[in-house]
């Protein structure tokens, strides 16, 4: 059984086997969680991301996929980068958002990670409505077979925390 836990805070302050980054497909950094992870994690993460761009992911990491790197100076063994979809009011991209959680857990399983901290993927710069993002996150984790023992959602503010808490009640 995978336990789902909630924390209000900054994901870069978490201790976990793996910390998930809400990356963009360039893998070369950005704002929000991505910027914070690279700032606190140090240059080793970006260095590995550049290597991924030079090898397997020449065109970047596709939306809905996930890939791991070192966690650099973060209190974790790995960062799992996943690329959420940009919210669209005209197109249903929820399958891609669900895929982020599923693929991240698949990568975590391959690494042997037992505790994984997730942000609310796509709900920041990418504009996904928080309540729907929380619904997809919780439903997908519950529906995914994984050896991960704890999935910890790390929510940046009260609104995000309450949206996730509402899904777990
Ligand atoms: P995206 O581009 O996928 O929308 P963002 O990083 O902009 O990713 O935002 C994803 C979510 O993470 C938002 O709800 C945002 O408020 C939150 N967030 C931003 N910085 C942090 C952080 N340091 N720790 C945890 N959550 C964060």
Q: For position 1, what pLDDT does the model report?
A: 86
Q: For position 42, what pLDDT does the model report?
A: 98
Q: For position 29, what pLDDT does the model report?
A: 93
Domain 3-168 is of which CATH architecture? 3-Layer(aba) Sandwich (3.40)
Cβ neighbours for 56, distance < 8 A, ≥ 6 positions apart: 67
- pTM of the predicted model over 0.85: yes
Decide: 6 and 22 in contact? Cβ < 8 Å.
no
Cβ neighbours for 91, distance < 8 A, ≥ 6 positions apart: none
> Candidates 20, 119, 158, 160: which one to mutate for ligand 1, based on the most atoms within 8 Å of Cβ?
119
The CA distances from residue 101 to 50, 54, 143, 144, in Å, are 23, 25, 10, 9
CB of 126 within 6 A of ligand 1: the answer is yes
pLDDT digit string, tens, across residues 72-123: 999 999 999 999 999 999 999 999 999 999 999 999 999 999 999 999 999 9
Helix, strand, coil % over all residues of the chain, rounded to 5 = 40, 20, 40
pLDDT digit string, tens, across residues 114-169: 999 999 999 999 999 999 999 999 999 999 999 999 999 999 999 999 999 999 98
CB of 78 within 6 A of ligand 1: the answer is no
How high is the mean pLDDT of the chain? 98
Segments making up each domain of the chain, as ranges: 3-168
> Candidates 10, 21, 22, 94: which one to mutate for ligand 1, based on the most atoms within 8 Å of Cβ?
22
Could you confirm whether 34 is annotated as catalytic?
A: yes
CA 134/CA 118 separation, integer angstroms: 11
């Amino acid at each position: 059984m995978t336990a789902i836990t909630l924390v209000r805070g900054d994901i870069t302050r978490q201790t976990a086997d793996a910390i998930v980054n809400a990356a963009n497909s360039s893998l070369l950094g950005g704002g929000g969680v991505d910027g914070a992870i690279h700032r606190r994690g140090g240059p080793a993460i970006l260095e590995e991301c550049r290597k991924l761009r030079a090898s397997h992911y020449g065109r970047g990491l596709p939306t809905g996929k996930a890939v791991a790197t070192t966690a650099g100076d973060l209190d974790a063994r790995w960062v799992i980068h996943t690329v959420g979809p940009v919210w669209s009011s005209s197109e249903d991209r929820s399958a891609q958002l669900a895929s982020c959680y599923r693929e991240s857990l698949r990568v975590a399983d391959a690494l042997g990670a037992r505790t994984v901290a997730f942000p609310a993927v796509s709900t920041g710069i990418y504009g996904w409505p928080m309540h729907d993002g929380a619904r997809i996150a919780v439903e997908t984790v519950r529906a995914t077979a994984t050896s991960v023992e704890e999935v910890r959602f790390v929510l940046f503010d009260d609104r995000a925390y309450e949206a996730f808490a509402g899904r777990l009640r």
